[in-house]
Structure 1
Amino acid sequence: MNQKKRLSAIMGTPVQADAPPQASAETSTGYTPVAGATPPSPALEKRPAAARSMAAMWAASRPAPAEADGAIVELDPDLCLPSAIADRVPDVTDEAFDAFVAQIREQGQHTPILVRRHPRQAGRYEIAYGRRRTRAAKALGKPVRAVLRDLSDTELVVAQGSENLAREDLSYIERAHFARNMEQAGIARDVILKAMGVHRPDLANYLAVAEAIPAPVLAAIGPAPKVGRPRWLTLAERIKAARPEQVETALASPSLAGKSSDERFTAILTALAAPPPRKAKPRAETVKDAKGVKFARIERSSDGMRVTLDETAEPGFADYLAERLPEILAAYRQGKG
């Protein structure tokens, strides 16, 4: 059973076999096939040339029949618009996309995308899933194969979530991003839970992370496929503690250029790390004799005191003091006693 027949069985709609080439019709009648128009009948081919021409013009001007729900159609990718609720975070370094395009060029599009008629733009379609396949078809200048369904807003979101969230390459922040976008669009929590396939505590965690990461930071980093929730929370804490200009400097750093999404995350996380606490400089004071000559320097810190004696001011005094330190300590203890 080929791809179209399998999908026909799933969707419950007959799929017509691929039409045979129209070269002979074009050559003998001058008729150019038009999408959705009825091809010329044998009777048309026997008519005079003027009659055939008028019939061909009439056929070309007829509106295309409405596609049945569940039909597999070929669409102009420029007419297929992304869902209003984004589930992907763009990545300017998506090197895998070029390989994906090459695969479709060589092997064709195996799996159709899912679309509905756009509720606000006549003649256009809204993608439930398959945005990447649509983008690849556009890059190749080919139509995109699609299953056309009459979907409500809720059905669109659930289909979008069920397909995209099952993909292994959807990162943690993309899942969080999708959940937050649904909430901001006014989607009911029960529908979000169904679309995400998670429980309420998990959804709360997704929403908390998405809320804590500003849009400019997410745009600079991208999907970061290898970064999980703990590190995103660490980044959120550092963003909260940093000054706005520190965040702006980190996002504008030239060092981000050419790095992968995961590497950009690490670079920004490192740039926003709190600097190590600076040790307070020890307080210094000088000791003078009766004549005002400086003979010692005392430096106090949190863990002790350093005494530096100037040998030029009083030669031999350092040795004298070192020998009598035990006596001085004993006298000190006795005085406390």
Structure 2
Amino acid sequence: MNQKKRLSAIMGTPIQTETPQQASPESSMGYAPVAGATAPSPAPEKRPAAARSMAAMWAASRPGPVDADGTVVELDPELCLPSAIADRVPDATNDAFNAFVEQIREEGQHTPILVRRHPRQSGHYEIAYGRRRTRAAQVLGKAVRAVVRDLSDAELLVAQGSENLAREDLSYIERAHFARNMEQAGVARDVILKAMGVHRPDLANYLAVAEAIPAAVLAAIGPAPKVGRPRWLTLASRIKVAPAERVDTALSSPDLIGKASDERFSLILSALAESAPRKKARDEIVKDARGVKFARVERSSNAMRVTLDEKAEPGFADYLAERLPELLAAYRQSRS
């Protein structure tokens, strides 16, 4: 199955091949008109420079300003389904979502979500971005404010990725997770690059990290918002050399219960740290004045073993054993 057919199977709509005469995903986007709705009131947002740059490029390719281009409607959040390509890593211990719900309860939903009519389920919608706002509306039992647009599969992914770029709370592993999910769905590399807002070397890094972290490890850790690429690579290298039983033990440790995602990452990383290699025992042969070998001394990091050759010196072993208490007393006296 080629890439277009695989993506079509997952996203639910035919994938159109773009020719030089056709518009690109960014320049062909248009809001679907919805009668009887009002235009959204823009809320000031604090975005990183890269996000502002991407947003400006995206908005410049459209027929009008982003806030004046469509209308806002109120939808039943139960009818708004997540995108087929996940960008979030679930985290049951994330208290930030509860705070987000309370904020919407007190202040209302400032920014509408973006959806398209669901390609497979009549009467439903597929979310390009705004999944957390939709979940919050479900919790509160309120309608979710949304803009409905006619989006192709590629356009939906670019919109989803552009919103991701603007999120300061989307972690490194979630971005890597999103990139890998798109690749596994058969999305073309040029579309992934546009959705991620990155260059090819950066995308290669994301994919390498996502490929190196098993699904079970990612599920146990969660999004780990404060963990960047270097520490994920360290964890990946430890997973690679650790026995499977050791990894399973680390993931099922009771110490993880109730801990925040970043803490779970640190605990698993520590659990998979390589133990200090044991020093090999050093054998020493002891000879008498005539050069006859009569004892072997084996040393390790915390012990010493003396083996006496009874044939070389008969009776010496008994003699030494009887005088060990005297030798210990003499040793202690010499130290004092």
TM-score, normalized by length of structure 2? 0.68
Taking the aligned partners of 1:206 and 1:277, their CA distance within structure 2 comes to: 33
Cα offset, 1:166, TM superposition: 1.7
Give the secondary structure class of the aligned counterpart of 1:71: coil
Structure-2 separation of matches of 1:188 and 1:17:
36
Offset of residue 16 of structure 1: 4.0
5 Å-filtered alignment, 1:133-144, equals 133-144=133-144
1:86-124 residue CA offsets vs partner (Å, 9 max, x unmatched):
011111111011111111111111110000000011111
- Deviation string 1:6-48 (CA, Å, 9 cap, x unpaired) is xxxx959587467xxxxxxxxxxxxxxxxxxxxxxxxxxxxxx
CA contact under 8 A between 2:32 and 2:150: conserved in structure 1? Answer: no
Question: Shift of the alpha carbon at 1:283?
Answer: 2.8
Amino acid at match of 2:192: I
- Pair 297,186 (structure 1): closer, same or farther in 2 beyond 3 Å: closer
Q: How far is 1:132 from its partner? A: 0.1
CA contact (8 A) 2:32 2:148 kept: no
Tell me, yes or no, if the aligned pair for 1:282 and 1:300 is still in contact at 8 Å.
Answer: yes
Aligned counterparts of 2:299 and 2:213: Cα–Cα separation in 1: 44
Residues 245-282 of structure 1: CA distance to partner in whole angstroms, max 9, x if unpaired? 11111100000001110110011111111111011233
Structure 2 residues without counterparts, runs of 5 or longer:
1-29, 39-68, 309-315, 328-336
For the structure 1 residues 203 and 166, does the alpha-carbon distance in structure 2 shift closer, same or farther, using more than 3 Å as the test? same
Aligned to 1:46: none
Q: Where does 1:1-337 land on structure 2 (aligned, <5 Å)?
A: 16=36, 70-283=70-283, 298-299=297-298
> Secondary structure, in 3 states, of the residue corresponding to 2:145?
strand
In the alignment, the residues of structure 2 paired with residue 81 and residue 197 of structure 1 have an alpha-carbon distance, to the nearest angstrom, of: 24
Q: Quick one: distance in 1 between partners of 2:261 and 2:197?
A: 26
Deviation at 1:284, TM superposition (A): 5.8
Runs of 4+ in 1 over 3 A off after TM superposition: 10-18, 284-290, 294-302, 305-313
The answer to whether the Cα contact below 8 Å between 2:31 and 2:150 also exists between their aligned partners in 1 is no
CA displacement 1:207-233 (0-9 Å, x = unmatched): 010000000100100011111111111
Q: What's the counterpart of residue 6 of structure 2? A: none
In structure 1, list runs of 5 or more residues that go unmatched. 1-9, 19-68, 319-337
- The share of aligned pairs that are identical, in percent, is 75
Q: Cα 1:73–1:246, aligned 2, differ >3 Å: closer, same or farther?
A: same
Cα offsets for 1:270-306 (capped at 9, x unmatched)? 111111101123336676899x9x986644689xx99
Counterpart amino acid of 1:174?
E
Q: Residues 123 and 282 of structure 1: is their aligned pair in 2 closer, same or farther, counting only changes over 3 Å?
A: same
Distance 1:158 1:288 in 2: 83
- 2:147 match: secondary structure: strand
Contact 1:283 1:301 in 2 (8 A): no
Aligned partners of 1:190 and 1:245: how far apart in 2?
40
Q: Secondary structure at the match of 2:166?
A: coil
> Could you say what the CA RMSD is over the residues aligned between the two structures, in angstroms?
3.4
Partner secondary structure for residue 146 of structure 1: strand
User: TM-score scaled to structure 1, two decimals?
Assistant: 0.68
Could you say if the C-alpha distance between residues 146 and 283 of structure 1 is closer, same or farther in structure 2, counting changes exceeding 3 Å?
same
CA distance in 2, matches of 1:260, 1:178: 22
Q: What residue identity is the alignment partner of 1:159? A: A
Paired residues, number: 253
Residues 170, 17 of structure 1: alpha-carbon distance in 2 compared, 3 angstrom cutoff: closer
CA drift at 1:71: 3.4
SS at match of 1:86: coil
Cα distance in 1 for residues equivalent to 2:80 and 2:254: 36
Q: Does 1 or 2 have the higher relative contact order (CA < 8 Å, sep 6+)? A: 2
Matched position secondary structure for 1:116: strand
